[in-house]
Amino acid sequence: MKKAFITGIAGFVGQHLARLLLDTGHTVSGIYCMDSDLPAIEPEIRKNLTLYQCDITDKQAVAGVFSNINVDVVYHLAAVSHVPFAEHNPARAFDVNTMGTWNLLDAVKDIPHSKFVLISSCEVYGRQSCGRRLFTESDPVLPSNVYGVTKASAEMLCNSYAHRYGLRTIIFRPFNHIGAGQACTFVASDFARQIVRIERGDVAPEITVGNLDVMRDFSDVRDVVSAYIIAGETISDNGLFNVCSGNPITIRTLLDTLLSIANADISIKVDTEKFRKNDNDYFGGSYKKLFDRTGWKPVIPLEKTLTDILNYWRKQSYVKY
Protein backbone atom coordinates (compact mmCIF):
# COMPACT_ATOMS: atom_id res chain seq x y z
CA MET A 1 0.00 0.00 0.00
CA LYS A 2 1.49 3.34 -1.04
CA LYS A 3 1.80 5.99 1.63
CA ALA A 4 0.66 9.43 0.50
CA PHE A 5 0.99 12.66 2.45
CA ILE A 6 -0.97 15.83 1.62
CA THR A 7 -0.27 19.34 2.87
CA GLY A 8 -3.39 21.51 2.77
CA ILE A 9 -5.49 18.37 3.15
CA ALA A 10 -8.51 20.32 4.46
CA GLY A 11 -8.50 22.66 1.45
CA PHE A 12 -10.59 22.39 -1.70
CA VAL A 13 -8.16 20.30 -3.74
CA GLY A 14 -6.72 18.48 -0.73
CA GLN A 15 -10.07 16.90 0.07
CA HIS A 16 -10.64 15.74 -3.50
CA LEU A 17 -7.11 14.34 -3.62
CA ALA A 18 -7.51 12.55 -0.29
CA ARG A 19 -10.76 10.96 -1.46
CA LEU A 20 -9.26 9.64 -4.70
CA LEU A 21 -6.11 8.38 -2.97
CA LEU A 22 -8.22 6.47 -0.43
CA ASP A 23 -10.43 5.11 -3.22
CA THR A 24 -7.34 3.84 -5.03
CA GLY A 25 -5.94 1.98 -2.04
CA HIS A 26 -3.45 4.41 -0.53
CA THR A 27 -2.87 5.20 3.09
CA VAL A 28 -3.27 8.93 3.48
CA SER A 29 -1.97 11.35 6.05
CA GLY A 30 -1.66 15.09 5.95
CA ILE A 31 -1.30 18.51 7.44
CA TYR A 32 -4.12 20.91 8.17
CA CYS A 33 -3.57 24.38 9.54
CA MET A 34 -6.32 25.57 11.84
CA ASP A 35 -8.74 23.86 14.20
CA SER A 36 -11.45 25.51 12.16
CA ASP A 37 -10.28 23.57 9.05
CA LEU A 38 -11.09 20.14 10.47
CA PRO A 39 -14.89 20.23 10.21
CA ALA A 40 -14.39 21.01 6.50
CA ILE A 41 -13.25 17.42 5.94
CA GLU A 42 -16.18 15.05 5.51
CA PRO A 43 -16.36 12.63 8.49
CA GLU A 44 -16.44 9.63 6.10
CA ILE A 45 -13.04 10.64 4.75
CA ARG A 46 -11.63 12.01 7.98
CA LYS A 47 -11.96 8.71 9.82
CA ASN A 48 -9.53 7.12 7.34
CA LEU A 49 -6.87 9.82 7.57
CA THR A 50 -3.97 10.46 9.90
CA LEU A 51 -3.93 14.19 10.49
CA TYR A 52 -1.34 16.60 11.88
CA GLN A 53 -2.06 20.18 12.79
CA CYS A 54 0.89 22.24 11.62
CA ASP A 55 1.60 25.68 10.23
CA ILE A 56 4.10 25.10 7.44
CA THR A 57 5.78 28.42 8.14
CA ASP A 58 6.99 26.90 11.43
CA LYS A 59 10.17 25.08 10.43
CA GLN A 60 10.52 23.13 13.65
CA ALA A 61 6.92 22.02 13.62
CA VAL A 62 7.28 20.79 10.03
CA ALA A 63 10.47 18.89 10.91
CA GLY A 64 8.64 17.38 13.89
CA VAL A 65 5.80 16.05 11.73
CA PHE A 66 8.16 14.31 9.32
CA SER A 67 10.68 13.05 11.89
CA ASN A 68 8.75 9.89 12.69
CA ILE A 69 6.87 9.02 9.55
CA ASN A 70 7.58 7.21 6.34
CA VAL A 71 5.96 8.45 3.14
CA ASP A 72 6.27 7.57 -0.53
CA VAL A 73 4.81 10.73 -2.06
CA VAL A 74 4.25 14.17 -0.52
CA TYR A 75 1.65 16.23 -2.38
CA HIS A 76 2.26 19.83 -1.37
CA LEU A 77 -0.94 21.83 -1.78
CA ALA A 78 -0.90 24.07 1.31
CA ALA A 79 -0.75 27.66 0.17
CA VAL A 80 -2.16 31.11 0.10
CA SER A 81 -4.16 30.13 -2.97
CA HIS A 82 -6.16 33.25 -3.73
CA VAL A 83 -4.46 35.68 -6.11
CA PRO A 84 -6.01 38.93 -4.74
CA PHE A 85 -5.30 37.88 -1.13
CA ALA A 86 -1.62 37.37 -2.02
CA GLU A 87 -1.55 40.78 -3.73
CA HIS A 88 -2.81 42.45 -0.53
CA ASN A 89 -0.78 40.28 1.87
CA PRO A 90 2.54 39.74 0.09
CA ALA A 91 4.56 38.98 3.23
CA ARG A 92 2.15 36.24 4.27
CA ALA A 93 2.04 34.86 0.74
CA PHE A 94 5.84 34.59 0.61
CA ASP A 95 5.96 33.15 4.10
CA VAL A 96 3.51 30.36 3.29
CA ASN A 97 4.08 29.68 -0.40
CA THR A 98 7.85 30.13 -0.57
CA MET A 99 9.28 29.67 2.92
CA GLY A 100 6.67 27.02 3.76
CA THR A 101 7.75 25.04 0.70
CA TRP A 102 11.37 25.41 1.78
CA ASN A 103 10.56 24.05 5.25
CA LEU A 104 8.83 21.05 3.72
CA LEU A 105 11.62 20.33 1.23
CA ASP A 106 14.12 20.43 4.06
CA ALA A 107 12.11 17.92 6.09
CA VAL A 108 11.27 15.58 3.21
CA LYS A 109 14.75 15.42 1.67
CA ASP A 110 15.88 13.06 4.45
CA ILE A 111 13.08 10.52 3.94
CA PRO A 112 14.54 7.70 1.83
CA HIS A 113 12.90 7.10 -1.59
CA SER A 114 10.37 9.87 -1.09
CA LYS A 115 8.98 11.97 -3.89
CA PHE A 116 7.91 15.61 -3.54
CA VAL A 117 5.05 16.85 -5.71
CA LEU A 118 4.81 20.64 -5.71
CA ILE A 119 1.54 22.17 -6.82
CA SER A 120 2.62 25.43 -8.42
CA SER A 121 0.40 27.46 -10.77
CA CYS A 122 -0.07 28.71 -14.32
CA GLU A 123 0.35 32.19 -12.79
CA VAL A 124 4.12 31.67 -13.10
CA TYR A 125 3.71 32.38 -16.85
CA GLY A 126 2.30 35.83 -16.11
CA ARG A 127 1.08 38.30 -18.67
CA GLN A 128 3.18 37.43 -21.71
CA SER A 129 2.70 38.87 -25.16
CA CYS A 130 2.31 35.41 -26.60
CA GLY A 131 -0.94 36.11 -28.40
CA ARG A 132 -3.62 33.63 -27.50
CA ARG A 133 -1.71 30.42 -27.95
CA LEU A 134 -1.50 27.72 -25.29
CA PHE A 135 1.32 28.02 -22.77
CA THR A 136 3.76 25.12 -22.73
CA GLU A 137 6.25 24.23 -20.03
CA SER A 138 9.11 25.67 -22.11
CA ASP A 139 7.60 29.18 -22.06
CA PRO A 140 9.52 31.64 -19.88
CA VAL A 141 8.59 32.11 -16.24
CA LEU A 142 7.50 35.76 -16.03
CA PRO A 143 5.00 36.11 -13.19
CA SER A 144 3.14 39.41 -13.13
CA ASN A 145 1.62 39.25 -9.66
CA VAL A 146 2.72 38.41 -6.11
CA TYR A 147 1.09 34.99 -6.13
CA GLY A 148 2.92 34.04 -9.34
CA VAL A 149 6.25 35.15 -7.88
CA THR A 150 5.71 33.11 -4.71
CA LYS A 151 4.96 30.01 -6.79
CA ALA A 152 7.89 30.62 -9.18
CA SER A 153 10.27 30.91 -6.23
CA ALA A 154 8.82 27.72 -4.70
CA GLU A 155 9.55 25.97 -8.02
CA MET A 156 13.15 27.22 -7.94
CA LEU A 157 13.61 25.90 -4.41
CA CYS A 158 12.20 22.57 -5.50
CA ASN A 159 14.64 22.37 -8.40
CA SER A 160 17.54 23.30 -6.16
CA TYR A 161 16.67 20.46 -3.73
CA ALA A 162 16.49 18.05 -6.65
CA HIS A 163 19.97 19.07 -7.77
CA ARG A 164 21.61 19.43 -4.36
CA TYR A 165 20.10 16.44 -2.57
CA GLY A 166 18.82 14.18 -5.31
CA LEU A 167 15.25 14.63 -4.05
CA ARG A 168 12.79 13.38 -6.66
CA THR A 169 10.43 16.22 -7.46
CA ILE A 170 7.48 16.77 -9.76
CA ILE A 171 6.17 20.27 -10.33
CA PHE A 172 2.63 20.82 -11.57
CA ARG A 173 1.34 24.05 -13.03
CA PRO A 174 -2.42 23.70 -12.74
CA PHE A 175 -4.59 26.16 -14.64
CA ASN A 176 -8.01 27.06 -13.20
CA HIS A 177 -9.73 24.11 -11.62
CA ILE A 178 -13.25 24.07 -10.28
CA GLY A 179 -15.59 21.75 -8.42
CA ALA A 180 -17.77 21.09 -5.42
CA GLY A 181 -16.49 22.58 -2.20
CA GLN A 182 -14.48 25.43 -3.71
CA ALA A 183 -14.60 28.78 -1.90
CA CYS A 184 -16.88 31.50 -3.23
CA THR A 185 -13.90 33.73 -3.87
CA PHE A 186 -13.43 31.66 -7.07
CA VAL A 187 -15.59 32.47 -10.04
CA ALA A 188 -17.54 29.24 -10.71
CA SER A 189 -18.51 28.87 -7.04
CA ASP A 190 -19.43 32.55 -6.83
CA PHE A 191 -21.76 32.30 -9.84
CA ALA A 192 -23.26 28.96 -8.75
CA ARG A 193 -23.98 30.21 -5.25
CA GLN A 194 -25.69 33.34 -6.59
CA ILE A 195 -27.78 31.21 -8.96
CA VAL A 196 -28.92 28.92 -6.15
CA ARG A 197 -29.94 31.90 -4.03
CA ILE A 198 -32.01 33.12 -6.98
CA GLU A 199 -33.52 29.64 -7.54
CA ARG A 200 -34.59 29.64 -3.88
CA GLY A 201 -36.21 33.04 -4.25
CA ASP A 202 -33.87 34.57 -1.65
CA VAL A 203 -32.83 37.43 -3.94
CA ALA A 204 -33.93 39.15 -7.15
CA PRO A 205 -33.19 37.21 -10.38
CA GLU A 206 -30.05 39.15 -11.24
CA ILE A 207 -26.49 37.83 -11.06
CA THR A 208 -23.62 40.23 -10.37
CA VAL A 209 -20.44 39.52 -12.26
CA GLY A 210 -16.99 40.98 -12.89
CA ASN A 211 -15.02 41.04 -16.14
CA LEU A 212 -16.61 38.49 -18.48
CA ASP A 213 -14.06 38.91 -21.25
CA VAL A 214 -11.00 37.36 -19.58
CA MET A 215 -10.15 33.87 -20.78
CA ARG A 216 -9.35 30.99 -18.50
CA ASP A 217 -8.60 27.30 -18.94
CA PHE A 218 -11.00 25.42 -16.64
CA SER A 219 -10.64 21.79 -15.57
CA ASP A 220 -12.67 19.68 -13.19
CA VAL A 221 -10.81 19.28 -9.89
CA ARG A 222 -11.42 15.50 -10.09
CA ASP A 223 -9.47 15.37 -13.36
CA VAL A 224 -6.73 17.49 -11.84
CA VAL A 225 -6.20 15.29 -8.78
CA SER A 226 -6.12 12.20 -10.98
CA ALA A 227 -3.25 13.83 -12.90
CA TYR A 228 -1.40 14.41 -9.63
CA ILE A 229 -1.79 10.78 -8.60
CA ILE A 230 -0.91 9.27 -11.98
CA ALA A 231 2.26 11.34 -12.18
CA GLY A 232 3.06 10.83 -8.49
CA GLU A 233 2.87 7.07 -9.02
CA THR A 234 4.45 6.61 -12.41
CA ILE A 235 7.11 9.26 -12.92
CA SER A 236 10.32 8.36 -11.19
CA ASP A 237 12.59 11.16 -12.41
CA ASN A 238 12.03 14.89 -12.02
CA GLY A 239 9.33 16.53 -14.07
CA LEU A 240 7.42 19.73 -14.79
CA PHE A 241 3.89 19.58 -16.19
CA ASN A 242 0.94 21.80 -17.00
CA VAL A 243 -2.46 20.46 -15.94
CA CYS A 244 -5.28 22.02 -17.93
CA SER A 245 -8.06 21.45 -20.42
CA GLY A 246 -6.26 22.91 -23.42
CA ASN A 247 -9.51 24.72 -24.23
CA PRO A 248 -9.57 28.25 -22.78
CA ILE A 249 -12.96 29.96 -22.67
CA THR A 250 -14.20 33.37 -21.64
CA ILE A 251 -15.84 33.82 -18.25
CA ARG A 252 -18.91 34.78 -20.30
CA THR A 253 -19.03 31.25 -21.75
CA LEU A 254 -18.70 29.78 -18.26
CA LEU A 255 -21.57 31.98 -17.07
CA ASP A 256 -23.76 31.22 -20.11
CA THR A 257 -23.26 27.49 -19.57
CA LEU A 258 -24.24 27.80 -15.90
CA LEU A 259 -27.28 29.90 -16.76
CA SER A 260 -28.36 27.34 -19.38
CA ILE A 261 -28.61 24.66 -16.68
CA ALA A 262 -30.08 26.90 -13.95
CA ASN A 263 -33.72 26.53 -12.93
CA ALA A 264 -34.49 30.24 -13.23
CA ASP A 265 -34.49 33.11 -15.72
CA ILE A 266 -31.62 35.33 -14.65
CA SER A 267 -30.34 38.67 -15.90
CA ILE A 268 -26.72 39.76 -15.72
CA LYS A 269 -25.35 42.86 -13.98
CA VAL A 270 -21.70 43.74 -14.62
CA ASP A 271 -20.05 45.36 -11.58
CA THR A 272 -16.74 47.02 -12.50
CA GLU A 273 -15.81 47.04 -8.79
CA LYS A 274 -15.38 43.29 -9.20
CA PHE A 275 -12.74 43.72 -11.92
CA ARG A 276 -9.35 42.64 -10.63
CA LYS A 277 -6.49 45.08 -10.92
CA ASN A 278 -3.33 43.59 -12.39
CA ASP A 279 -5.30 40.63 -13.76
CA ASN A 280 -4.02 38.50 -16.61
CA ASP A 281 -6.63 38.57 -19.35
CA TYR A 282 -5.69 35.20 -20.81
CA PHE A 283 -4.59 31.81 -19.54
CA GLY A 284 -4.66 28.77 -21.76
CA GLY A 285 -2.39 25.77 -21.42
CA SER A 286 -1.25 22.69 -23.29
CA TYR A 287 -1.26 19.35 -21.45
CA LYS A 288 0.58 17.58 -24.27
CA LYS A 289 3.72 16.96 -22.22
CA LEU A 290 1.75 15.25 -19.45
CA PHE A 291 -0.29 13.27 -21.98
CA ASP A 292 2.81 12.09 -23.83
CA ARG A 293 4.40 11.01 -20.58
CA THR A 294 1.46 9.42 -18.75
CA GLY A 295 -1.55 9.24 -21.07
CA TRP A 296 -3.49 11.61 -18.79
CA LYS A 297 -6.11 13.81 -20.36
CA PRO A 298 -9.17 15.57 -18.94
CA VAL A 299 -12.35 13.49 -19.28
CA ILE A 300 -15.08 15.37 -17.42
CA PRO A 301 -17.08 17.77 -19.64
CA LEU A 302 -17.59 21.35 -18.45
CA GLU A 303 -21.40 20.93 -18.35
CA LYS A 304 -21.04 17.99 -15.94
CA THR A 305 -18.64 19.93 -13.73
CA LEU A 306 -20.95 22.94 -13.58
CA THR A 307 -24.03 20.79 -12.93
CA ASP A 308 -22.21 19.14 -10.02
CA ILE A 309 -21.18 22.54 -8.63
CA LEU A 310 -24.77 23.80 -8.83
CA ASN A 311 -26.03 20.63 -7.15
CA TYR A 312 -23.42 21.05 -4.42
CA TRP A 313 -24.74 24.53 -3.65
CA ARG A 314 -28.35 23.33 -3.89
CA LYS A 315 -27.57 20.84 -1.09
CA GLN A 316 -26.22 23.52 1.26
CA SER A 317 -28.95 24.39 3.74
CA TYR A 318 -27.81 27.98 4.12
CA VAL A 319 -26.11 29.84 1.27
CA LYS A 320 -24.74 32.91 2.96
CA TYR A 321 -23.58 35.86 0.96
Q: Based on CB atoms, which residue is closest to ligand A2R, 114 or 176? A: 176
Min CB(37)–ligand A2R separation in Å: 5
Q: Based on CB atoms, which residue is closest to ligand A2R, 16 or 266? A: 16
Distance CA 141, CA 174 (A): 14
Q: What is the 3-state secondary structure (H, E, C) of 74-105?
A: EEECCCCCCHHHHHHCHHHHHHHHHHHHHHHH
Q: Based on CB atoms, which residue is closest to ligand A2R, 82 or 252? A: 82
Q: Based on CB atoms, which residue is closest to ligand A2R, 121 or 198? A: 121
Residue nearest ligand A2R by beta-carbon distance: 11
- CA distances from residue 9 to 42, 118, 311 in whole angstroms, order as listed: 11, 14, 23
Distance CA 149, CA 158 (A): 14
Q: Cβ of 47: how many Cβ atoms within 10 Å?
A: 8
Secondary structure element (H or E) that encloses residue 249, with its range: strand 249-250
Min CB(3)–ligand A2R separation in Å: 20
Q: Based on CB atoms, which residue is closest to ligand A2R, 144 or 205? A: 144
Distance CA 283, CA 297 (A): 18
Min CB(173)–ligand A2R separation in Å: 9
Min CB(19)–ligand A2R separation in Å: 13
Q: Answer for the pair 15, 181: CB distance below 8 angstroms, yes or no.
A: yes
Contacts of 298 (CB under 8 A, 6+ apart): 219, 220, 223, 244, 245, 246, 287
Q: Based on CB atoms, which residue is closest to ligand A2R, 26 or 76? A: 76
Binding site for ligand A2R (CB under 6 A): 8, 10-14, 31, 33-34, 37, 55-57, 77-79, 81, 96, 100, 119, 121, 174
Min CB(202)–ligand A2R separation in Å: 25
The dihedral over CA atoms of 319, 147, 42, 46, expressed in degrees to the nearest 10, equals: -160
- CA distances from residue 63 to 41, 54, 100, 109, 242 in whole angstroms, order as listed: 24, 10, 11, 11, 30
Min CB(204)–ligand A2R separation in Å: 30
Nearest 5°: CA angle at 79, between 214 and 2? Answer: 115
Min CB(263)–ligand A2R separation in Å: 28
Min CB(90)–ligand A2R separation in Å: 14
Q: Based on CB atoms, which residue is closest to ligand A2R, 148 or 239? A: 148
Helix (H, G, I), strand (E, B) or coil at 286: coil
Q: Based on CB atoms, which residue is closest to ligand A2R, 31 or 244? A: 31
